Amino acid sequence: MLAEWESHKQQLRSYIARQISDQEVVEDILQEVFIKASDNLQQLKAKGSLRSWLYTITRNTIIDYYRKRTNYEELPDDLAQESKDLIEQNYKVLSGCLRPLLQELPDKYRIPLELSELEGMSQQDVATSLGLSLSGAKSRVQRGRAKLRELMLACCEFEMSKGEITDFTPKSETGKKCYDRVRKRYT
């Protein structure tokens, strides 16, 4: 391996130097490529493909270098974190707005959705109680969710963080009335 490495070393150095201007970093990356190639020599399938294999390792090492190098600004220590209480309060207000929005849905979607999501019934039980097939009940629940989502997005703008709704702002008159009525109840 050492003899083959010496024959490709200068070409690899030039390749790295075209990607990175700092000569010390070029040498560090070249050394890292040699270590990776030595450690993974058993992965080389044919001796004739050594050159392309070394270039692949080199290219990936350069990509890793730039990924690690990404600068991030430190956040200030005094940055306010969303309190769980505020998030819980937002959920209560938002859940209070769901009932009026559910009432806007046609009965064929509203009833299966309420039974499934609010009453906690299985979709099989929803199907049985409404005289529907299981696939019919599932379809109505899914369509009800989609229509409820459309209504929610039409009424409010949502702010998300880590998969949770951290805040929302009503954007329609209906949304504002609901928001004000429910906010008074929980604040």
| Overall average pLDDT of the 108-119 stretch | 91
Please classify residue 149 by burial: count the beta carbons closer than 10 Å to its beta carbon, then call 0-12 exposed, 13-18 middle and 19+ buried: exposed
Architecture of domain 84-186: Orthogonal Bundle (1.10)
What is the distance between the alpha carbons of residues 31 and 25, in angstroms, rounded to a whole number?
Answer: 10
Q: Which of 88-92, 172-176, 181-185 has the lowest mean pLDDT?
A: 181-185
| Overall average pLDDT of the 148-166 stretch | 75
pLDDT of residue 49: 76
Which residue, 106, 115, 104, 105, is CA-closest to 137?
115
166 and 82 Cβ atoms separated by less than 8 Å: yes
Structure confidence by residue, pLDDT tens digits, 17-75 = 998 988 999 999 999 999 998 888 777 766 667 888 888 899 999 999 988 877 767 77
| Overall average pLDDT of the 106-114 stretch | 92
The pTM (predicted TM-score) of the whole model is 0.45
Q: List the structure tokens of 110.
A: 């509203």
Q: What are the sequence ranges of the domains in the chain?
A: 2-69, 84-186
User: Which 8-state DSSP code applies to residue 49?
Assistant: G
Q: Which CATH number fits domain 2-69: 1.10.1740.10, 1.10.4030.10, 1.10.357.10, 3.30.505.50?
A: 1.10.1740.10
